[in-house]
């Protein structure tokens, strides 16, 4: 199954992508995590992306498309994959279609802006593997330590309130039009991302995906 998780920053894409990756046995490709790893490693892409991410702006389409093309060429993507946070411009979506990337379903997680702003203040991420947590809704078993890899949990720099507001503006103006793009292709399914617990949201996604 080839799935895109679409939604505003903080809608729960990464959290749910991780759950469904384990459940379906397919990898998650998170361009945000790949870019943060590149920043940590000090690569050319990382240097180019850092200021843009810290300011809540998007990284250029050609950089993102090169990352996606390279990652999808790995053997583990042969059976399927989950795209988390990509595409997020019409140009990226069109280019991926032109590259012959066929998508089965696009899960749009809908969460109101006010709920997102509140959520982001409690988010922690693993600085090693990128796994997302929340101090109340999804805490790690040991405080400050990742359940998966034992890495340190940190607050993302772009989760500052002013940056979250900027990211939401970018989302509404540049990424939200993708709902029409995939709706016209009959691929879009919309799931409320703030109704109930993480498990309730997972159950709603599973139902819509038929898995
Ligand atoms: P990226 O890392 O993709 O950030 P994002 O899309 O802004 O999404 P987030 O990771 O912030 O949120 P999420 O939806 O995954 O939510 P999460 O599951 O963590 O991208 C970062 C930056 O990289 C971008 O700003 C851009 O600069 C650049 N970039 C990346 N891809 C790009 C692209 N394609 N093109 C151009 N630039 C790109 O959940 C959030 C919190 O809520 C967590 O704490 C979680 O535990 C909690 N939570 C989740 N579900 C629930 C629930 N049901 N109830 C309560 N809490 C919940």
Give the ligand 1 atom nearest the CA of 124: 44
* Band of residue 202 on the pLDDT scale cut at 50, 70, 90: very high
Please work out whether the CB of residue 71 comes within 6 Å of at least one atom of ligand 1: no
Give the ligand 1 atom nearest the CA of 35: 23
Please work out whether the CB of residue 5 comes within 6 Å of at least one atom of ligand 1: no
- Per-residue DSSP letter, 60: P
Global pTM reads 0.94
Core vs surface per residue 47-56: b (16+ CB within 10 A) or e: eebbeebeeb
Please work out whether the CB of residue 130 comes within 6 Å of at least one atom of ligand 1: no
Give the torsion sign (CA, 114, 119, 122, 123): negative
Give the ligand 1 atom nearest the CA of 123: 44
Protein residue closest via CA to atom 8 of ligand 1: 9
* Band of residue 87 on the pLDDT scale cut at 50, 70, 90: very high
The radius of gyration computed from the CA coordinates of the chain, to the nearest angstrom, equals: 16
pLDDT digits (tens, 9 = 90+) for 118-160: 899 999 999 999 999 999 999 999 999 999 999 999 999 999 9
Contact 25, 131 (CB under 8 A): no
């Amino acid at each position: 199954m080839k799935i895109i998780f679409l939604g505003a920053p903080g809608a729960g894409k990464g959290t749910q992508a991780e759950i469904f990756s384990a459940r379906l046995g397919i990898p998650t490709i998170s361009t945000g995590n790949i870019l943060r790893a590149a920043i940590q490693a000090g690569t050319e892409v990382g240097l180019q992306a850092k200021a843009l991410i810290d300011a809540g702006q998007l990284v250029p389409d050609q950089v993102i498309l090169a990352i996606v093309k390279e990652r999808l060429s790995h053997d583990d993507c042969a059976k399927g994959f989950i795209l988390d946070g990509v595409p997020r411009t019409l140009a990226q979506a069109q280019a991926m279609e032109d590259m012959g990337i066929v998508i089965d379903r696009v899960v749009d997680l809908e969460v109101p802006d006010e709920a997102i702003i509140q959520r982001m203040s409690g988010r922690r991420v693993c600085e090693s593997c990128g796994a997302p947590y929340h101090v109340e809704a999804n805490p790690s078993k040991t405080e400050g330590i990742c359940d998966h890899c034992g890495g340190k949990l940190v607050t993302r720099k772009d989760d500052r309130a002013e940056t979250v507001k900027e990211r939401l503006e970018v989302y509404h103006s540049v990424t939200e039009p993708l709902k029409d793009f995939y709706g016209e292709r009959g691929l879009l399914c919309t799931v409320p991302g703030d109704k109930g617990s993480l498990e309730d949201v997972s159950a709603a996604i599973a139902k819509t995906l038929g898995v």
